Amino acid sequence: MKNFLDKSDSTKPPKVGEILEGKVIGKGRSAVFLDLGPTGAGVIYGREFYEAKDKLKNLKIGDKIFAKIIELENDEGYMELSVSGASRELAFEVLRQKKENEEILKVKILGANKGGLMTKVSGVPAFLPVSQLSSELYPKVEGGEKTKILKELQKLIGREMEVKILDLSQRDEQVILSEKAKEVDKKMEMLKNYKAGDEVEGEISGITNFGAFIKFGENLEGLIHISELDWKIIKDPSEVVKIGDKVKAKIIDISNGKVSLSLKKMTVPGTEDSRNWSNDKNLIP
């Protein structure tokens, strides 16, 4: 916040949108007057007063507060100010710094919809999309039914999570969070021990309409896309695997912390033997 305020140069004329720190020099029934130092005097009144009255009512003469310039000079010669506007501006500046520093934040989930979870960060509403949940919390719903996904997400209301800021837009007052982002660095380090072509043993941890998740190694998880479950075309992954099944799979790609695997089976030429090709590397196409 200090860095943000340091951007203001007292030698330059003030401008609309600038945030200043002022000292309370007077209070009325619906107005607060501030001494802004070399910049002059300002007033918070009208709609701006009522929007922030809960915060303003406890101020005493001599107290300091941040305010945003919304008009350089009114009919009485005062600079018109907004406290709520300054609060939003400062909150987003804090969030920008947290994003740049890739800081891990603790949030409490306040609500859910079919697209993800809702919370607040530094008093600013924020959204955590389903796609940004860790593999542990991702709703692995068979068939991908949205109503079932929503029920799983609603179970997370009230839960505290560690997240990172993925994206934010002050203009749209939008903050997008990621729960899985905090795991990426640790996961990338662990994945250095693996490469495409490696065979892993694991357990099917979830099934969706687009494939199956497999846990392997030290709490790693990857996706076996439906097209990589069998050589034949299938419509439902549960035709091939069930949750809890112990399987062997081949890593076909590792990218940005995501692991893609294959469980395809093939028949050994000249035999009736259908097996997971990963049991015999000579069978790799």
Most confidently modeled range among 49-58, 188-197, 220-229? 220-229
Is-same-fold flag (103-181; 193-283)? yes
Look at the alpha carbons of 99, 102, 106, 111 in this order and tell me if their dihedral is positive or negative: positive
Q: Please provide the average confidence, as pLDDT, over all residues in the chain.
A: 83
Q: Is 40 helix (H, G, I), strand (E, B) or coil?
A: coil
Segment 153-163 shows an average pLDDT of 94
**Region 2-88: CATH code:** 2.40.50.140
pLDDT for 102 beyond 50 = yes
pLDDT by residue (tens digit) across 174-196? 899 999 877 766 777 788 889 99
Domain boundaries, the chain: 2-88, 103-181, 193-283
pLDDT for 24 beyond 80 = yes
Output 284 or 87, whichever has higher pLDDT: 87
Put residue 17 in one of left, alpha, beta given phi > 0 → left and psi -120 to 50 → alpha: left
Segment 90-119 shows an average pLDDT of 90
pLDDT for 111 beyond 90 = yes
pLDDT of residue 170: 64
pLDDT for 38 beyond 70 = yes
Segment 81-108 shows an average pLDDT of 86
What is d(CA 31, CA 39) in angstroms, rounded to the nearest whole number? Answer: 19
Q: Name the class of domain 103-181.
A: mainly beta
DSSP of 76-142, one letter per residue?
A: TSPEEEEHHHHHHHHHHHHHHHHHHTT--EEEE--EEETTEEEEEETTEEEEEEGGGS-TTTS---G
Q: Name the class of domain 193-283.
A: mainly beta
| Helix (H) or strand (E) segment spanning residue 2 | helix 2-6
Alpha carbon 146 to chain centroid, angstroms:
20
